[in-house]
Amino acid sequence: MRWYHQLRWKLFISHLVIVVIADVVLLATATFLARLGLVHIAPLTLGEAAAETGQIDPTAISAIPTPLLSQFQAVVQQALFVSGFAALAAAIVVSLFVSRRIVEPLHTLSTVSRRLGQGFYRERTRISSDDEIAQLSQSVNQLADALDQTERRRLALLADVTHELRTPLATIGGYMEGLLDGVIKPSTQTFSLILSETSRLQRLIEDLELLSRVEAGQLPVVARRTDLEEGLRGVAVQFEPIFAANQVSLNLQIEANLPNVWADPDRVDQVLINILANACRYTPAGGNVTLRATYHEHMVTVLVRDTGVGISAEHLPHVFERFYRVDKSRARQSGGNGIGLAIARHLVYAQGGEIWAESDGQGKGTTFVFTVPLAPVTIDLPALPLDQPTVFETP
C-alpha cells in the first residue's frame, strides 16, 4: 500500500489543509481589517469631523501614510505567520495522536481478523475505548467466539466418534480374526455377539446423524396443538415391557384436565423416550421411575424421577453434553453412547421449552425435567460456555 493511501497520512493531510485554509482566510481578513482600523486611529489625517461622526470616506483610506500602513500590515502578517506555524505544529501533534488512536486499533483488528482467517480461533482483541471502534472490536470477538466454539465442537466430535467406533470395531475384528485362525469356534453365541456389536455401530451412526441434523437445525420440528397426555401414556405403554424385564416399576402421574400444548408430538416422544431409556438404564432392579406431568400458567412440566445411581454435583452441569457419561464403563456395559440426552436437549429447545437435571448426589436418584409451552414462543438457544481466550490489547 502506498503511503498516501494509508489512513494516518490521510488524517494528517486533512488537518494540514484545514490549517492552511484557516491561515489564508485569517491573513486576508486581517489585512483588510487593518486598513479599516487605521482610519479610526488617524483622525488628523482623515479629519476630525470624520473621526467624530464615525463616517469614513472611502477616499480617506488612501490618505493614510504608506509607511504607517505598510508597517502595520507587516506586523499583522508576521503575527499571522507565527500563529500559523504554531497551528501547523499543533495540527501535526494532534493528527499524529488522533491517527494513532484510530489506526493502531484498526491495525490490531486487521491482524486478529487475518489470524482468524488462518485458523487461530483463540485470538481476541480488546480496545480500551468507548466508541465505534470498540463496538467493532466486540463484534470481531463475538465472531471469533462463534468460530472457536464451532472448531472445538468439530474436534470434540472427531475425538468422540473415533473413541466410540474403536471399541465395537475392535471387538468385531478380534472375533472375526479368531474365527479365521480357528482359535474361536463358530457358535451361536459368537455370532450373536458380533451381531450385537454391529447393531451397536448402526445405532451409533443413526444417533450421530440425528444429532448432527438437530445441531445444524435441519431436523424438521412442526409444532401444533398436541394432546400431550395421549403421547405420555403411549410412551409409557411402550416402555412397560422394558421396565418389567429390568424389574423396575414405572409410575404414571398425569394431572387432571391437562391442556393441549404447542409442540411436535413426534419430537416430544423422542425426548421422553431418551429420558426414560436413560432412567431405566441407571436404575437398579427393585427401583422405580415416576413419570409426572403438571401444568402451570404458560407451560406443561414433564418430570421423570428415578431411584437410580444419581449424579454428583460436579457432573450434573455436563449431562446434556454429547458423549458425556458420568460412569463411562457402566454406560458401555448398558449400551449407552452419551448422545440421547444431547438430542433431547436440542429437541426441547427447538420447541421453545427448557430442560434440566436435578440430583442430590450419588445413590440418591436423578430427576429430569422439561417444559412444553402452551402457545408459540420465541426460540432463544443458549450459548455454550467458552474457555478463556487469548487477548490482544491495544492502548
pLDDT of residue 386: 39
129-137 contacts, C-beta under 8 A, 24 or more apart: 129/101, 129/105, 133/102, 133/105, 133/106, 133/109, 136/109, 137/105, 137/109
pLDDT of residue 340: 83
Using the predicted structure, report yes or no on whether residue 187 has a pLDDT greater than 60: yes
365 and 230, same domain (yes or no): yes
Q: Which of 101, 148, 102, 150 is nearest to 124 (CA)?
A: 148
201 versus 381: the higher-pLDDT residue is: 201
15 and 155, same domain (yes or no): no
166 and 93, same domain (yes or no): no
**If pLDDT is split at 50, 70 and 90, which confidence band does 9 have?**
low
204 and 234, same domain (yes or no): no
pLDDT of residue 381: 47
Three-class SS of residue 301? strand
Comparing 111-115, 160-164, 231-235, the range with the smallest average pLDDT is 160-164
pLDDT of residue 130: 66
**If pLDDT is split at 50, 70 and 90, which confidence band does 287 have?**
very high
193 and 176, same domain (yes or no): yes
**How high is the mean pLDDT of the chain?**
76
231 and 352, same domain (yes or no): yes
Over residues 355-384, the mean pLDDT reads 80
Adjacent-strand bridge partners of 261: 226
Using the predicted structure, report yes or no on whether residue 325 has a pLDDT greater than 90: no
What CA–CA distance (Å, rounded) separates 52 from 44? 11
pLDDT of residue 49: 45
Which residues lie below 8 Å from residue 12, measured CB to CB, with a gap of 6+?
A: 92, 95, 96, 99
Domain of 89 in residue numbering reads as: 3-120
pLDDT of residue 65: 57
What CA–CA distance (Å, rounded) separates 112 from 391? 10
**If pLDDT is split at 50, 70 and 90, which confidence band does 367 have?**
very high
Q: Which of 200, 198, 278, 212 is nearest to 246 (CA)?
A: 278
Using the predicted structure, report yes or no on whether residue 135 has a pLDDT greater than 50: yes
What CA–CA distance (Å, rounded) separates 291 from 84? 86
What CA–CA distance (Å, rounded) separates 303 from 292? 5
Q: CB count, 10 Å around CB of 139? A: 11
368 and 229, same domain (yes or no): yes
Question: Do β-strands 288-295 and 355-359 pair in parallel, antiparallel, or remain unpaired?
Answer: unpaired
251 and 363, same domain (yes or no): yes
Over residues 363-380, the mean pLDDT reads 83
Using the predicted structure, report yes or no on whether residue 72 has a pLDDT greater than 60: yes
Q: What is the DSSP letter of 285?
A: T
236 and 166, same domain (yes or no): no
Using the predicted structure, report yes or no on whether residue 329 has a pLDDT greater than 70: no
259 and 205, same domain (yes or no): no
pLDDT of residue 55: 52
| Ramachandran angles phi, psi of 114, nearest 5° | -65, -40
What CA–CA distance (Å, rounded) separates 341 from 211? 10
CA angle (65 as vertex; 62, 66 as ends), nearest 5: 85
Alpha helix ranges (H) inside 246-383: 265-281, 328-334, 340-350
pLDDT of residue 44: 43
Give me the number of domains the chain comprises. Answer: 3
Q: What is the CATH number of the domain that holds 205?
A: 1.10.287.130
What CA–CA distance (Å, rounded) separates 255 from 105? 60
What are the pLDDT digits (tens) for 24-50?
A: 766 666 666 655 555 555 544 444 444
Using the predicted structure, report yes or no on whether residue 61 has a pLDDT greater than 60: no
**If pLDDT is split at 50, 70 and 90, which confidence band does 327 have?**
low
Residue 293 is assigned to a structural domain of this protein = yes
Residue 275 grid cell: 429420558
Q: What is the DSSP letter of 259?
A: P
Using the predicted structure, report yes or no on whether residue 97 has a pLDDT greater than 80: no
